[in-house]
């Protein structure tokens, strides 16, 4: 038996890998003027993230959605990392060239740097925004650009995308838009989607499916970015929860051959009991009939505390196709 899956041995929290990325970004965003070579450090972090996603996109999405739905603590860094991850995946689907992909991700990481502390505060705040806070939120794209310029960022496209990331853009085909318009439109969609799936003190995070539906209600029916987002994450992305027609609640492990056919594992049975070991539902053609997804669930709908051994085991399963990720989540002391 693989020592990673032995129920009696200790396990390592897979989300710790994501937390390392988050901690590094949090330091850069919260104390940028104390960091020598800010832009270079940010690009190092981008390469780290890009490497994780390139090794195994499903494992990276699992990490991202689990973390995005779990806490409001350090919201600014968490939100930036979620947006940057989605931009990485979308850039490939939308066939952006390497230069535009890099600018898109760097803009995602820094678009809110001008209100980093305020964004963390607002995620924890139950009261309505004060007039001073509302003004700061309104001003933050320009403040972010100004701060990046103080940090010796000189790339004109990076600065422009950050400054205009909330500005409405034409609904014309992406290929016909100028680079700034194209990147702002992609980033704006990702920013809204990431905000919808993430919890705040005033509301629970929404399911990925509900978040996509809200985006469609406020966008064009044939919006390329929304279509690509659905295709690359699936209707039920890795790391999110679903209600099955069997009555079980499952966590999605990997994307399937179709957006509505992910690989899953039941973690709560129809009677509301936590399952350990979890019950795997993988490819139909290999494993026969399996339960179908009835609906997507927000993390807040899971009121039972999930068995941590099961979640660690499933995280390892997600990373199984990548040796680098597999080593990063191995049990302490295992070979």
> Residue 267, SS3?
strand
Phi, psi of 125 (to 5 degrees): -90, 130
pLDDT at 327: 43
Q: Same domain for 270 and 295?
A: yes
Q: Enter the DSSP assignment of 151.
A: T
Instruction: List the beta bridge partners of residue 263.
Output: 254
Give the pLDDT of residue 285. 52
Q: Quick one: 152 and 256 in the same domain?
A: no
Which residue, of 212, 233, 254, is where some domain finishes? 233
179 located within any domain: yes
Output the pTM of the full model: 0.84
Domain co-membership, 185 together with 261: no
Q: Which of these, 194, 235, 244, lies nearest to 213 by C-alpha position?
A: 235
Tell me the average pLDDT of the chain. Answer: 83
Say what the pLDDT of residue 42 is. 95
| Lowest-pLDDT range of 86-95, 283-292, 293-302 | 283-292
Does residue 224 share a domain with residue 257?
Answer: no
Query: With 70 as the cut, is the pLDDT of residue 49 above it?
Result: yes
Say if residues 285 and 256 touch (Cβ distance below 8 Å).
no
Q: How many domains does the chain have?
A: 2
91 phi and psi, to 5 degrees?
A: -60, -40
Whether residue 136 contacts residue 147, with contact meaning beta carbons closer than 8 Å, is answered with: no
pLDDT at 222: 66
Residue 256 CA to residue 58 CA, distance in Å, equals 10
Specify whether the CB–CB gap between 329 and 17 falls below 8 A. yes
Give how far Cα 243 sits from Cα of 216, 266, 272, 296, Å: 23, 9, 12, 6
Do 161 and 263 share a domain, yes or no? no
Over the range 68-96, which residues count as b (16 or more CB within 10 Å of their CB) and which as e?
bbbebebbbbbbbbbbbbbbbbbbeebeb
Contact 331, 10 (CB under 8 A): yes
- For the stretch 51-85, pLDDT in tens is 878 877 888 888 888 777 765 457 899 899 999 99
298 vs 100 pLDDT, higher one: 100
Query: Residue 332's pLDDT is what?
Result: 31
- Are 222 and 251 in a shared domain? no
pLDDT of residue 3: 32
Asked if 219 and 283 sit in the same domain, the reply is: no
> Which whole number is the average pLDDT over 90-102?
96
**At a CB cut-off of 8 Å and minimum separation 6, what does 237 contact?**
61, 65, 208, 252, 255, 262
Last residue of a domain, one of 233, 262, 284: 233
DSSP code for 331 = P
Range of the domain at 275: 241-307
Spatial separation of the C-alpha atoms in residues 105 and 277, rounded to whole Å: 38
**What is the reported pLDDT for 298?**
86
254 confidence band (pLDDT: 50, 70, 90): confident
Q: Is 78 a domain residue? A: yes
Average of per-residue pLDDT across 122-147: 93
Residue 152 CA to residue 179 CA, distance in Å, equals 22
pLDDT above 60 (res 286): no
| Rounded distance between C-alpha atoms, residue 203 and residue 126, angstroms | 9
DSSP track, 235-261 = SS-TT-EEEETTS-EEEEEE--SSTT-
Give the residue, 2 or 156, on which the prediction is more confident.
156
Looking at residue 26, its pLDDT comes to 92
């Amino acid at each position: 038996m693989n020592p990673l899956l032995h129920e009696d041995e200790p396990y390592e929290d897979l989300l710790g890998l994501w937390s390392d990325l988050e901690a590094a970004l949090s330091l850069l965003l919260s104390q940028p003027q104390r960091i020598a070579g800010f832009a270079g450090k940010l690009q190092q972090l981008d390469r780290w993230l890009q490497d994780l996603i390139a090794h195994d996109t499903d494992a990276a999405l699992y990490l991202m959605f689990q973390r995005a739905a779990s806490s409001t603590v350090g919201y600014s860094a968490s939100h930036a990392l979620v947006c940057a991850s989605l931009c990485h995946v979308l850039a490939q689907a939308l066939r952006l060239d390497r230069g535009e992909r890099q600018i898109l991700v760097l803009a995602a990481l820094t678009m809110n740097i001008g209100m980093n502390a305020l964004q963390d505060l607002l995620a924890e705040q139950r009261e309505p925004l004060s007039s001073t806070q509302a003004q700061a939120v309104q001003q933050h794209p320009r403040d972010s650009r100004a701060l990046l310029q103080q940090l010796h960022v000189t790339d004109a496209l990076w600065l422009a995308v950050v400054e205009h990331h909330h500005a409405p853009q034409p609904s014309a085909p992406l290929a016909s838009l100028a680079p700034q318009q194209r990147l702002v439109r992609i980033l704006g969609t990702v920013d809204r989607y990431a905000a919808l799936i993430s919890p705040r003190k005033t509301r629970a995070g929404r399911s990925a499916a509900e978040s996509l539906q809200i985006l469609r209600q406020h966008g064009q029916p044939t919006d390329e970015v929304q279509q690509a987002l659905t295709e690359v994450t699936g209707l039920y992305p890795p790391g999110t929860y679903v209600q099955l027609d069997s009555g079980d609640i499952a966590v999605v492990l990997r994307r399937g051959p179709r957006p509505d056919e992910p690989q899953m594992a039941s973690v709560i049975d129809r009677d509301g009991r936590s399952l350990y070991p979890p019950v795997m539902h993988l490819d139909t053609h290999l494993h026969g009939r399996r339960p179908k997804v009835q609906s997507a669930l927000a993390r807040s709908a899971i009121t039972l505390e999930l068995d941590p051994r099961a979640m660690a085991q499933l995280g390892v399963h997600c990373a199984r196709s990548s040796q680098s990720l597999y080593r990063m989540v191995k049990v302490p002391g295992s070979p």
